[in-house]
Amino acid sequence: MAAHQDRKSRLSRSRRASTVTGSPAPRDGHTFNFAPRPVRRHVVRQLTLKLRPERTQRFDNFIVGDNREAFDTIRLQARFGQPAAVYLWGEAGAGRSHLLAAAAAECRAEGRASATADSLPAQGDYDLPSHGLLCVDDVDQLDETGQAALFRAFIRAGAAQCGLLIAGSVPPAALSLREDVRTRIGQCLVFELKSLGDDHKQEMLALYGLSRGLMLEPDLIGWLLRHGRRDLPSLLAAIDALDDESLARHRPPTLPLLRELVQGELLAPEA
C-alpha cells in the first residue's frame, strides 16, 4: 500500500512537472494522449528520475532460488555475529552484491559494526569491528593495496571475532590475486551462487515491481524475459525504465509501452 501511495505521489508530481515545462496537464480525471516534444519529455524524465525510490537490498527481498545453503549461512553470520569466513562466487547478476549489502545492513541493525576493504589501511595497526563483519565485494578487482589490506584482515579477524564475507566472479583457484590471499580465500566456506531460472526471475521482477508501486501482469514479465536482455541488472533496469516512462507519459505500465522500450535502443537485446 505504501508503495502504491508513493507511486501516486510521484505521478502527481510528474504531472505538475509537465505543467511547469509547458505540456498540458490532465483535466477532469482524463489523461491526454499526446506526443510531447523531445526537449520537454527529456525534462520530465529527469524530474521523474529524481523521484525514484532507492533500491534497498535486504534479505527479505532476495529471491533464494537454488542458493538456500549460502543464503542461510550468510544470514546467520550477519544476524548472530558468527566469525566465519565465507566466499561467494558467481556470474554477474547472481546476487553477490545484494547478499553483501543485506548482510552489512543486518549486522548494523543488530548493533554491530560492518566495514569494507577500502576502509582498511594496507599498513599499520587497525582494529576490525569486534563481532562485526568485513564485506569485500569484487575481490578479483582489488589492487595491490587492497590485497595487502585483505591479507592483514584475515590475520586479525580471529582475534577480533570478526566475520569475513568476500565475493568474486570466479572460484578461489581462478582468482588473479597474490598467492597468500588466494590461499586464504580458498580456506573459506565457499559457495557458488547460481543464477535464477525464469520462474524465479518472474517472481523477483514481480516483487521488485511491487516495491515501486507497480502491479506487473505475468504476461508483461514473461514477454520481457523472452524479448529483453536476460541478465538481472538489465531486467531491473527495464522495470525502472517502464516506471519512468509511464510517469513521464501519464500512461499505465502496460505491455504495449514495454514493447516500445524494447524495440528502442534502451532495452534492446544484445546481438
Q: What are the pLDDT digits (tens) for 111-124? A: 999 988 777 776 66
Kindly indicate the confidence band of residue 31, based on its pLDDT and cuts at 50, 70 and 90: very low
Using CA atoms, how far apart are residues 213 and 200, in angstroms rounded to an integer? 20
Determine the 3-state secondary structure of 239 from DSSP: helix
What dihedral do alpha carbons 187, 108, 236, 204 form, nearest 10°? Answer: 80
Predicted local confidence at residue 35, as pLDDT? 36
- Indicate the DSSP class of residue 119: G
- In DSSP notation, 224-236 reads HHHHS--SHHHHH
The DSSP secondary structure of 192-224, one letter per residue, reads EPPPP-HHHHHHHHHHHHHHTT----HHHHHHH
The domain covering 64-192 belongs, at the CATH homologous superfamily level, to: P-loop containing nucleotide triphosphate hydrolases (3.40.50.300)
pLDDT band for 256, please (50, 70, 90 cuts). very high
Residue 173 neighbours by CB distance under 10 Å: 9
Please tell me whether residue 252 adopts helix, strand or coil conformation: coil
- Checking if the pLDDT of 225 tops 70, the result is yes
Number of H helices, E strands in the chain: 10, 5
Using CB atoms within 10 Å of the CB of residue 211, give its burial: 0 to 12 exposed, 13 to 18 middle, 19+ buried.
Answer: middle
Location of C-alpha cell 515545462: 21
How many other C-beta atoms are found inside a 10 Å radius of the C-beta of residue 71?
A: 19
pLDDT computed for residue 8 by the predictor: 58
Contacts of 9 (CB under 8 A, 6+ apart): none
Contact 173, 143 (CB under 8 A): no
Rounded CA separation 13/48 (Å): 8
Given a contact cutoff of 8 angstroms between Cβ atoms, the answer to whether 128 and 156 are in contact is yes
Rounded-to-integer distance, Cα 15 and Cα 26, Å: 8
Domains of the chain, residue spans: 2-26+35-56+198-263, 64-192
Q: Which amino acid is at 146?
A: G
If you average pLDDT over residues 229-234, what whole number do you get?
A: 82
Higher pLDDT, 178 or 14: 178
Q: What crossing angle do the helices spanning 96-109 and 68-80 adopt, rounded to 10°? A: 30
Pairing of strands 189-192, 114-116: unpaired
Residue listed under C-alpha cell 558468527: 82
pLDDT in tens, 51-66: 455 567 889 889 899 9
